[in-house]
Structure 1
Amino acid sequence: MKPVYIDKTIEDLSIQTTQTAKLWNNKKITSIIVTIAIFAAFFLLSMTHTGDEAWGWKSILPTLAVLVMAIVTRRPFESMMAGSAAGLIMMSPNNFITPFTDTISKVVGDETIVWVVLVCGLMGGFIRILEISSCLDGFTEWLKTKIKSRRQSTMATVILGAIVFIDDYLSCLAVSSSVKKLTDYYQVSREKIAYLIDSAAAPMCVIVPISTWAVFFSGLLENNGVAGKSQGMNLYVSSIPFMMYAWIALLIAFLVAAGIIGDVGPMKKAELRAKSGRPVPPDYEGEELINKSKAKRQLSMKAQLFNFFFPVALLILSTVYYDIDLLKGVIITFTVTTLLFYFQGLLSINEQIDALFEGFHSMLYPLSTVIGGFILKDINDSLGMTQYIIDSVTPYLSQATYPAIVFVVLALIVFGTASSWGVFVIAIPIVIPVAQHLDVHMPLVVGAILSASSFGSHACFFSDSSILAAQGSGCSPMSHAFSQFPYALIGAICAIIAFLMLGYAYA
């Protein structure tokens, strides 16, 4: 005879499933109604606008719509597409499909986007090969012999993230994929790993002048006449002590990893869940890069460590050799690693090529989200959002408060657009002449600009580094964003105070 409690359990499950289905249907209906209402509101806005009139405060609305929709739906890519469509409806209500497709074609065809897609896809394939060759498992087992506690595992994570400072993409993907088996063993949430990696990636790439960030910004300073020819790097280096947010964010990450700063808000819930044996957040729908080893023979621990450290070292050195070009570095490393594993008899060429495509596939959603951010930025540029915000605060500037205001304004713009580099192509020609007119200490101003870039890259839920840190760590972008934001906000507040103090000191 079947026990009564089994019938009761089945009945409860049936009721629960029915309720879940109803809630899901209600949520879909609500989302559709909200989306239609938003599009209708933007259409009405377009009707009140004349052709030659500046958009003014209305230019902020598409980005605000994206933020609200992402928080409600927890789907960053879909939210950015909806916000981008809303912005285009404002500008072209009668035919927004043509400009929408034109914008997508323009963004996808941009050489920066092509570079990002190739780098991230190849990095995904490279990490996949390291996994199926079993050398990542070997690295994890070796770490277990050195690291004996939960706290040591989090400290090792942030230290490794800080060491790999050449490029934030490299740090976010390679380091997170290397340590998450170890941190799973010590029941550390994936959200915390994503936060620690993200907090080490962007700040360290700003602080250390041997990185893609330093190369880009020093060139930007020279192109805008802020520094003389070949003097951009000197100005960049002199501004490093004034990159307050980067220093503070890195310090907070170390304090969190050491347990000196406790878990707050969503991070506290994530850590409680991980300690109960569930390190992966329930809303993570992506694909894990990690899978069962396909190696044809078992290597010794030393051989596995060599197969891990040699490709990673080659990736870093080749990237540096080619003037901090991660694409060239990862192509060379992928080629050499494929031949190394083939001649060792570990994996066939076909298996490694299949792994490359598997890695590319696992990066599709993160890459689509990054592309969505570029599309949103292009629409914001057409609306004149950056120019409007900067013009709005210009009357309130003074020599002492200028660095703090520059940090706040540009940090908000980068946070809203996810473009930690592209925004400054527009902003620097505006910000720097005002700083020169007010006679503000230039390294301090550059430090504030780079701090704003670092904060935006760190805190924005759809920035490239945040998306990749979440993907590499194995958690959803929104889980990472919500759990990280309190710490980023603390860092931003401390940075504002520091810039105010420095501004009055150098006034």
Structure 2
Amino acid sequence: MSTDVTQPNAANLAESEQGVSQPTRWLVFYGLIMAGFAYLSTQHVEGESYGFQSLLPALLILFVAVITKKPLESIFAGIVAGLLLLDPTNIVTGLGDISIAVVMDETIAWIVLVCGMMGGLINMLERGGSVLSFGELLAKRIKTKRGTMLTTCCLGVMVFIDDYLNSLAVSASMKNLTDRYRISREKLAFLVDSTAAPVCILVPVSTWAVYFAALLEENGATGEGQGMSLYIEAIPYMAYGWIALLVVFLVAAGILGDFSAMKQAEKRAQAGQPIPPGTQQDGFDLSGIKKTSPMVGLLNFLMPMAVLVGASVYYEIDLLLGALVASMFTMVLYFWQGLLSFGKLVDSMLDGFKVMLHPIAVVCAGFMLKEVNDQLGMTPYIIDSLTPYLSKELLPALVFAAMAAVVFATGSSWGVFVVSLPIVIPMALALGMSMPLTVGALLSASAFGSHACFFSDSTVLSSQGSGCTPMQHALTQIPYALIGAVITFIALIFLGFAMA
């Protein structure tokens, strides 16, 4: 009796000791790193540039992300490190000030509301049985794995108005079908994400086009009222968008194979486990779904989507107002058909917001990181470091490389250009480089950063909608994104010499 009792207790004690020692080791490890950042701050001379040190928080984020596979914790580590580098004596005050600044930012408020309302809308479509009906209708017509992947890509191209809409709506409508053909959730996320930002930059009727057209006018790239015209002229030169689109269709068609982590994910899916281990599902309560005829279910899915796109276009490409109108339309439509009671419709919207809390937190943390990087002067440092190598011919390629690195490090595909455009546009004007080509390089960098960064809004929402973690999605997607980036860099070198 005593032996039986003693052995489990010894084992439990050993496990307890191991459990205590592991967090302690991590605490010491991170403590030493943060102490190093605090020491570097004492060596900085006030008024001087931080130089290479401005890159250290971003490098720490990548290091922590590879170890932990958790984007939110990684970004927070980078934020704390950056604040220590700026002023270790005011880290709490600095963190509070940045948090308030981000929460009060109009862009952040827009993103929070759009993500929440899109989550609520998708939840209503799923609980009302529309997504299920749409998937069943597709299943009757699509009989192969290749056909499923190509259909996912085509749907992504069709939903071009905004990358948020693409990331959530396409993934929600295709999950059941991709599971049926044993396509990993990581590959679904890749197919969805590759037709999000890369497609949105190529279409002048998108939130990206409206935003960047206004920025181009503000920074003197073109005359007042000519921002959209310049944007349209630049579309042929947005090399990354075209190449990423080509790559994803080659992958979907089976011409371009699976690499590295994607190969492992597909092997797991073929063995009958398309959903990766350790993934928390979206949390939507789909019990009690009322079955409708396939045609009614299809209309119940397509009509809210059509209203969403139509209302967004009507309100000058504002997805927030479009989502608001589409949500009200869907609530009336489903209540009228008796699919969901008013109480359940409201619960669906609220639950949609809850499900999107983690992606929203990651995106907000990314904007906090951008604020820290701006104070450290990371963007000007990277551009200044490349300036000695600039020539008229190399400007587009080097602008792409520099800004792609900045967007990848910050996760802010829109915010960084508020800082960089006042530097890049005068540089292009001074060298006499083609402005459409320069804008094409800038938008290519923005699309690559949004596509490749593991904590960008597009990556986070694509992984959330597809049912995998942001790191699982990013690690499987990065080889394809790098292929697109390398080809884009070479293409911009060629175009720079051809148009000089």
Q: CA deviation at 1:289?
A: 4.9
Query: 1:119 is matched with which residue: 101, 114, 121?
Result: 114
Counterpart for residue 288 of structure 1: 282
Q: CA deviation at 1:336?
A: 1.1
Note if contact 2:284-2:351 (Cα within 8 Å) is conserved in structure 1.
no
* In structure 1, distance between residues paired with 2:279 and 2:431: 49
Q: CA deviation at 1:82?
A: 1.4
Counterpart for residue 3 of structure 1: none
Instruction: Determine whether 1:453 maps to 2:446.
Output: yes
Instruction: Determine whether 1:102 maps to 2:106.
Output: no
Q: CA deviation at 1:33?
A: 2.4
* In structure 2, distance between residues paired with 1:335 and 1:54: 51
Q: CA deviation at 1:310?
A: 0.7
Counterpart for residue 6 of structure 1: none
Query: Which letter does structure 2 place at the counterpart of 1:505?
Result: A
Q: Closer, same or farther in 2 for the Cα pair 1:75/1:346, shift >3 Å?
A: same
Counterpart for residue 160 of structure 1: 155
Query: 1:272 is matched with which residue: 264, 267, 271?
Result: 267
Note if contact 1:134-1:294 (Cα within 8 Å) is conserved in structure 2.
no
Note if contact 1:470-1:480 (Cα within 8 Å) is conserved in structure 2.
yes
Counterpart for residue 7 of structure 1: none
* In structure 1, distance between residues paired with 2:237 and 2:10: 59
* In structure 2, distance between residues paired with 1:208 and 1:260: 26
Q: Closer, same or farther in 2 for the Cα pair 1:138/1:15, shift >3 Å?
A: farther
Q: CA deviation at 1:141?
A: 0.5
- Per the alignment, in what secondary structure is the counterpart of residue 95 of structure 1? helix
Note if contact 2:331-2:345 (Cα within 8 Å) is conserved in structure 1.
yes
Q: How many percent of aligned residue pairs carry the same amino acid?
A: 50
Q: CA deviation at 1:382?
A: 0.5
Q: Deviations over 1:436-495 (max 9, x none)?
A: 111111111110000000000000000000000000001000000000000000100000
Query: 1:336 is matched with which residue: 307, 329, 336?
Result: 329
* In structure 1, distance between residues paired with 2:25 and 2:486: 36
Instruction: Determine whether 1:32 maps to 2:23.
Output: no
TM-score (norm 1): 0.94
Q: CA deviation at 1:348?
A: 0.6
Query: 2:464 is matched with which residue: 451, 454, 471?
Result: 471
* In structure 2, distance between residues paired with 1:20 and 1:468: 37
Q: Closer, same or farther in 2 for the Cα pair 1:373/1:23, shift >3 Å?
A: farther
Q: CA deviation at 1:95?
A: 2.2
Q: Deviations over 1:351-399 (max 9, x none)?
A: 0111111111111111100000000000000111101111111111011
Instruction: Determine whether 1:301 maps to 2:294.
Output: yes
Note if contact 2:220-2:425 (Cα within 8 Å) is conserved in structure 1.
no
Counterpart for residue 352 of structure 1: 345
Q: CA deviation at 1:292?
A: 2.5
Gaps of 5+ in 2: 1-8
Counterpart for residue 381 of structure 1: 374
* In structure 1, distance between residues paired with 2:254 and 2:396: 32
Q: Deviations over 1:182-232 (max 9, x none)?
A: 101111000001011110000110001100000011111111111111111
Q: CA deviation at 1:91?
A: 1.2
Q: Deviations over 1:135-193 (max 9, x none)?
A: 11111110101100111111111111111000000000111111011101111000001
- Per the alignment, in what secondary structure is the counterpart of residue 207 of structure 1? coil
Counterpart for residue 499 of structure 1: 492
Gaps of 5+ in 1: 1-13
Q: CA deviation at 1:52?
A: 1.8
Q: CA deviation at 1:15?
A: 13
Note if contact 2:198-2:245 (Cα within 8 Å) is conserved in structure 1.
yes
Note if contact 1:66-1:79 (Cα within 8 Å) is conserved in structure 2.
yes
Instruction: Determine whether 1:249 maps to 2:249.
Output: no
Q: CA deviation at 1:34?
A: 2.2
- Per the alignment, in what secondary structure is the counterpart of residue 94 of structure 1? helix
Query: Which letter does structure 2 place at the counterpart of 1:52?
Result: G
Note if contact 1:203-1:246 (Cα within 8 Å) is conserved in structure 2.
yes
Q: Closer, same or farther in 2 for the Cα pair 1:190/1:305, shift >3 Å?
A: same
- Per the alignment, in what secondary structure is the counterpart of residue 200 of structure 1? coil
* In structure 1, distance between residues paired with 2:180 and 2:13: 36
* In structure 2, distance between residues paired with 1:24 and 1:475: 27
* In structure 1, distance between residues paired with 2:257 and 2:273: 20
Q: CA deviation at 1:41?
A: 0.6
TM-score (norm 2): 0.96
* In structure 2, distance between residues paired with 1:389 and 1:310: 47
Instruction: Determine whether 1:189 maps to 2:184.
Output: yes
Query: Which letter does structure 1 place at the counterpart of 2:185?
Result: R
Q: Closer, same or farther in 2 for the Cα pair 1:320/1:149, shift >3 Å?
A: same
Instruction: Determine whether 1:71 maps to 2:66.
Output: yes
Q: Closer, same or farther in 2 for the Cα pair 1:30/1:279, shift >3 Å?
A: farther
Q: CA deviation at 1:423?
A: 0.8
* In structure 2, distance between residues paired with 1:269 and 1:237: 40
Q: Closer, same or farther in 2 for the Cα pair 1:339/1:426, shift >3 Å?
A: same
Query: Which letter does structure 2 place at the counterpart of 1:465?
Result: S
* In structure 1, distance between residues paired with 2:204 and 2:214: 12
Counterpart for residue 5 of structure 1: none
